[in-house]
Amino acid sequence: MTSIIKQSVQKTHTSEFLDHSETYAEVLKTFRLKLAQVCSHGSEAAIEKHRSRGKLLARERINLLVDPQTPFLELSSFAAYNQYDNAFPSAGIVTGIGLVQGHECLIIANDATVKGGTYVRETIKKHVRAQEIARQNKLICIYLVDSGGIYLPEQANVFPDRFDFGRVFYNQARMSAEGIPQLSVVMGSCTAGGAYVPAMSDETIMVRNQGTIFIGGPPLVLAATGEEVTPEDLGGAEVHTSISGVADHIAEDDTDALKICRNIVAGLPFPEKQRLDITPMKEPLSPADELYGYLPVDLKKPVNIHAIIERLVDGSEFREFKANYGKTLVTGFSRIWGFPIGIIANKSFLTSESALKGTHFIQLCVQRKIPILFLQNITGFIVGKKYEHQGIARDGAKLINAVANASVPKFTVIIGGSFGAGNYAMAGRAFDPHFLFMWPHSRISVMGGEQASGVLKSVGNKDSADTLMNEFIEQSSATYSSSRLWDDGIIDPVDTRKVLAMAISVSLNRSFDNPGYGVFRM
């Protein structure tokens, strides 16, 4: 492969580089403060009450479950951020990917210190998204259950629709049918519809005098039948492991339950991996923190995309494809953590030539069974009479067709702006990339705020123009996106290599499909 290290190493001490680094330090400071806030679990009173019952916090449970000194990739930490008066940090649920006895697992843990682990709209969206990732990548699902079910004041937003609460159980049934293990550890309340999470799992563990499963709790039973019964007598661990058969294993406490779960996972078969030409990992030739110096927070400024790539890929080696054609799009082959990867990255708007170049490159990756990484910093497709007459819509459609039908894993990182149809052409959320992450300063919207304001002014709606621009600025931020699960999380740029390595690794659990395309309009 061809190294591109000479292109940008000499520019790391310019005033512009230093200014970008200094500005980005402030971006990271704000990001980390917000991240600490959303990962803080519930109120101090709720945490103290939780601990007084001998229970571990959700993230402490995960730390005991995963293999020691291995990474846990937490997903969608900012779910529900700045919604519900911030009463649902991380939407009251922790999801992510970790190794358990060497197996790659998708872990879903209710956070009972957040409104009793109940579900609002974003909780369900986050839970269902985690299951989608598990199903797409054939990951063992482990549910650490401690939930009161649906948050009743929000019931109209979480109960009846296709991807509402019922989808959780549908996904469990479908994954089990596909041979993807479903394991539950009941570590607290498991009420009403939530009772079906353990009931539909392949194996279920319950903690004695702590875990409960029932369709209707004691208050509902009393109201409906007049019968008085304690939670333990109604649906405790002894009842369900010795009388009803709803659960299979009984544990003495959280630690014991997680140990039993680890033992179950140890007995599961490993999936057959998609074969790739994997080589020993090589660190980039430049330190990762130099990325900050190449990231202007002002998205109108150009980004040295080659400098970004060389700090993400093994040995800073990148074999560029069609370097002199369609120059607003950079394409080429490289490796991340030893895994082969095709990279498609924006330098500017998309032209007919760059769209055709991207289409050609995707076909190569599919034919060679090489996963694709999209680095998004895109204002959209070029506009104007000349380009419309040349068929920009037709050529853009080719790229979109190729992206939609690419049969290899796709990974998207929004490293700057993601605007308009450019979002779609670069494997935005609507195009089902295996994972989509954002960098803290990045933005996503149908167009930039200034452009939206200009459109309104041009059609005579001047009064709304300034208001709309402010709304666009607020609603295009990375935290706004992540709050609504438009992505799988906001990541520090320096962590991107590790995050992508984990993402690529889990994607190999399912064999790549044979390529297939529809009609390319000529």
Closest to 140 measured CA to CA, from 111, 88, 100:
100
**pLDDT tens digits, one per residue of 145-183:** 999 899 999 998 998 999 999 999 999 999 999 999 999
Residue 180 falls in which region: left (phi positive, over 0), alpha (psi -120 to 50) or beta: beta
The whole-number pLDDT of residue 459 equals 63
Bridge partners, residue 319, by sequence: 333
Structure tokens at 461: 């709606």
**pLDDT tens digits, one per residue of 118-131:** 999 999 999 999 99
Give the distance from CA 315 to its chain's centroid.
27
Q: What angle do CA 488, 60, 262 make, to 5 degrees?
A: 90
How large is the greatest C-alpha to C-alpha distance in the chain, in angstroms? 79
Q: Is the pLDDT of residue 460 over 80?
A: no
Q: Is the pLDDT of residue 439 over 80?
A: yes
The band of 424, judged by pLDDT with boundaries at 50, 70 and 90, is very high
As a whole number of angstroms, the distance between CA 516 and CA 366 comes to: 9
Q: Do the bridges between strand 182-190 and strand 140-147 make them parallel or antiparallel, or are there none, so unpaired?
A: parallel
Structure tokens at 58: 């959700």
Closest to 211 measured CA to CA, from 248, 259, 164:
248
Starting at the edge strand found earlier in the chain, the sheet holding 103-110 runs 72-75, 93-100, 103-110, 140-147, 182-190, 203-207, 249-251
As a whole number of angstroms, the distance between CA 373 and CA 331 comes to: 10
As a whole number of angstroms, the distance between CA 337 and CA 2 comes to: 17
Of 79-88, 428-437, 512-521, where does mean pLDDT reach its minimum? Answer: 512-521
**pLDDT tens digits, one per residue of 284-322:** 999 999 999 999 999 999 999 999 999 999 999 999 999
Give the distance from CA 131 to its chain's centroid.
11
The whole-number pLDDT of residue 517 equals 81
- % of the chain with per-residue pLDDT over 70: 95
As a whole number of angstroms, the distance between CA 372 and CA 361 comes to: 10
Q: Is the pLDDT of residue 6 over 50?
A: no
Structure tokens at 271: 């999936």
What average pLDDT score do residues 508-520 get?
87
pTM tops 0.75, yes or no: yes
Bridge partners, residue 249, by sequence: 205
The band of 442, judged by pLDDT with boundaries at 50, 70 and 90, is very high
Q: Among all chains, which residue has been given the structure tokens 């916090």?
A: 57
**What are the φ/ψ torsions at residue 188 (nearest 5 degrees)?**
-175, -145
Q: What angle do CA 375, 359, 520 make, to 5 degrees?
A: 140
Closest to 118 measured CA to CA, from 146, 156, 142, 143:
146
The whole-number pLDDT of residue 386 equals 94
